[in-house]
Amino acid sequence: MTWRTYHLKLWHSVREDIDSSFMRVLQCTELRKKYASLKALKLRNTKEFTDDMKEFMTCPWKANITQKERYRVEMHSCCNATDDLILTKKNTALGQNITYDGERRKRVVDNSLLEMFPESIPWRTGGLLGRCAVVGNGGILKNSSCGSQINKADFVIRLNLAPINVSTDVGKKTNLITANPTQILRGYRNLKKHPEPLADKMSNYGNPPLIMPAFSFAFCTRVSLQVRQALRTVHPQQEVAYFNPNYLRDLHRYWRRRGHWAPRLSSGLMLASIALELCEEVHLYGFWPFNFDLSQKALPHHYYDNVGPHGRLHSMPREFTQLLNMHSNGAINLHIGKCQ
């Protein structure tokens, strides 16, 4: 091979790499534009959508500090998770009326109820929480190998007592977790006599603060108070807190102004919203409301079962569209598919 031939081949190779890199940047830019302005997902062609998502998830993600700060300021102004996410002795007074966010009902704060509230937010650090991972329960997490990424976050939020038995996919680290009163009714009967199963479940997470919507509906109050009593019986150090219904109501109004007209926000969107205000960087895992993966293979609804949500309460594809918008704008990092 002559000197000239060698350099011509080298030049063509460099040209091909430059052209390929340019096309890659152009493709990622187009995908960001497409999903940053999307109003609603209309899955007439699921292959086109999954091909887009497969490509989009390999595009380099870069945080947009301006967009992230915009959402943080909006969330703080409308709802104030920093001070009012849960009911505390600091934001609740003796004799005050608690107005439920899910029905027309009020509850007067007496001494016994006020005593159940923590003095202040139990995870308060004096600043933002750093890099946060909000772990949804979507079937897309199954065989994802996302566990090590999740564990590296500074603060990990999980929802609805989701299991962490497959730690390679979902991790183990847990700093905050929620429980739905309906799942307590289904899975933990007679807590007064048998608190151990629920206490053992919480021990798997390392006893992080547990938050429940005690003042959304009347039945939620009874169940949530029972959970606190049951856990305190076995593990006195276990913190159980209750969502401030004023916060949930304000958050619902915030998203309703942006087109989310479902009767209730999903737990996932609620916790993602909380993270937008409290965290420096927000990473979402397991947020995928479809019954197929990026290769169009069938998926269970959750990574641990195939029980779907109440169809009339939530608008999951609409919420997912909003998360895609925020990912495209650099406000959050939405992880879909395999992490390794």
Task: Please list the active-site residues.
Answer: 314
How many angstroms separate the CA atoms of 82 and 84, rounded? 6
DSSP readout, 220-244?
HHHHHHHHHHHHHHH-TT--EEEB-
How many angstroms separate the CA atoms of 313 and 261, rounded? 10
How many angstroms separate the CA atoms of 206 and 39, rounded? 40
What stretches of the chain adopt beta strand conformation (E)?
97-99, 106-108, 131-135, 155-158, 176-178, 210-212, 240-242, 281-285, 333-335
Backbone angles phi, psi at 261, to 5 degrees: -100, 10
Q: Are 50 and 226 in contact (CB under 8 A)?
A: no
Name the DSSP letter for residue 290: S
Q: Which residues contact 83 (CB under 8 A, 6 or more apart)?
A: 90, 91, 121
